[in-house]
Amino acid sequence: MINSELIQIANNLFCIKSIEMDNNTYLLVKNGQCIIIDPSFNFESIDHFLTKKNLKLVGIILTHCHYDHSWAVSALEKKYACPIYAHEFDKSTYLKYDCSQWIQKSVPKIKKINWIHEVDLTISDFNLQIVLTPGHTSGSICVNYNNYLFTGDTLFTNGIGRFDFPNSSFHDLKKSLDFIYKKYPPKTLILPGHGDWNNLKFIRKVL
């Protein structure tokens, strides 16, 4: 079990931070239901959170398919039988470039991923917008919910995601970052896959 920390960000938003790799797993809560974004390593902590708060897990969204953002998906899928969503352009990441060679372990396989391309995604009581932001991977997305923007490894509060993977692109990443800064208001809360979170107005644009 990887050491983790539960942090409440807002009334309806929590983060389980896996300490060893500083991964952020986000949990959106509404009407007794929960959506998880990027469940990383700590299935036990996620499971405990859902059980303690008596929440129904209605969906999992992956901002991209690197192993450190999806490790707990298989166990959650098995226990909660919830749908999993990722962008169809990230199939190559899941099948070939999940970076598991770094740890020399096989990533627990997911039974079914719903490969999506639509902008609007409704999961039970949650109305979300899926924003394709390639660069870190070919199918990296941001997830917009009210004034929250879950950016995965596209944008951090102190930098940007890597673009040296086989299906990465510096050009695409720059375009994605330009889009984020033009599209979203300064008060938008940027919630990255690693590190801290902050409002967009406090995050310096580096490209």
Query: What residue spans define the domains of the chain?
Result: 4-202
3-class DSSP state for residue 176?
helix
Among all chains, which residue has been given the structure tokens 């984020």? 180
53-63 tens-digit pLDDT: 999 999 999 99
Question: Could you tell me if 26 and 191 are in contact, meaning their C-beta atoms sit under 8 angstroms apart?
Answer: yes
Task: Quickly state the pLDDT bin for 2 (edges 50, 70, 90).
Answer: low
Q: Which pTM does this prediction carry? A: 0.96
Give the length of the chain. Answer: 207
CATH of 4-202 among 1.10.10.10, 3.30.9.30, 3.60.15.10, 3.30.450.20: 3.60.15.10
Q: Is the pLDDT of residue 1 over 60?
A: no
Task: Quickly state the pLDDT bin for 110 (edges 50, 70, 90).
Answer: very high
Compute the average pLDDT of residues 167-172: 98
- Give me the DSSP letters along 39-78: --S-HHHHHHHHHHTT-EEEEEE-SS--GGGTTTHHHHHH
Q: How far apart are CA 51 and CA 56, in angstroms?
A: 9
Question: Could you tell me if 70 and 99 are in contact, meaning their C-beta atoms sit under 8 angstroms apart?
Answer: no
Q: Is the pLDDT of residue 19 over 60?
A: yes
